Amino acid sequence: MPVPLREEIRAADGGAEGRAACCSLYHRAVELVGKRWTGAMLSVLLDGPLRFSEIKTLVPDLSDRLLSERLKELESEQIVERRVHDEPPVRVEYALTDKGRALEPAVRALQDWAQHWL
């Protein structure tokens, strides 16, 4: 059974009476994935693990500082994992977790919408 995106509320002014309020979990998800550059980063990571420099190449105009910040946020939410390969030279890759890969239908749908409407 799908989780409701909105919760029914009663408004004092009557204009929104009977309408559903935005669900706090939905709002949190949109704020997380909708942050500047995050959607683009998720999009390129859907095709597999990438190194920091590869993400930067595939998402033009993204600064090192902001890329690092977004990767840390996505790691803390367990959407992206950081993998360190110790063989010389040391290599660090970023990959989507199962939780991150679960976003694929939403990311693909948004890509389709953008191709059609923008």
CATH number of the domain within which 105 lies:
1.10.10.10
The number of beta carbons lying within 10 Å of the beta carbon of residue 75 is 14
**pLDDT at residue 108 tops 90:** yes
In contact, 91 and 50? CB cutoff 8 Å: no
What does the CA dihedral 46, 50, 52, 54 come to, rounded to 10 degrees?
Answer: -90
pLDDT at 14: 57
Q: Are residues 27 and 40 in the same domain?
A: no
Average of pLDDT values for 61-73?
96
Q: How confident is the model at residue 18 (pLDDT cuts 50, 70, 90)?
A: confident
Per the structure, the count of domains in the chain is 2
The number of beta carbons lying within 10 Å of the beta carbon of residue 87 is 6
Q: Are residues 27 and 83 in the same domain?
A: no
Question: At 55, which amino acid appears?
Answer: I
Q: Domain of residue 25: give its range.
A: 1-33
Q: Are residues 43 and 23 in the same domain?
A: no
Q: Are residues 72 and 17 in the same domain?
A: no
Q: Are residues 81 and 59 in the same domain?
A: yes
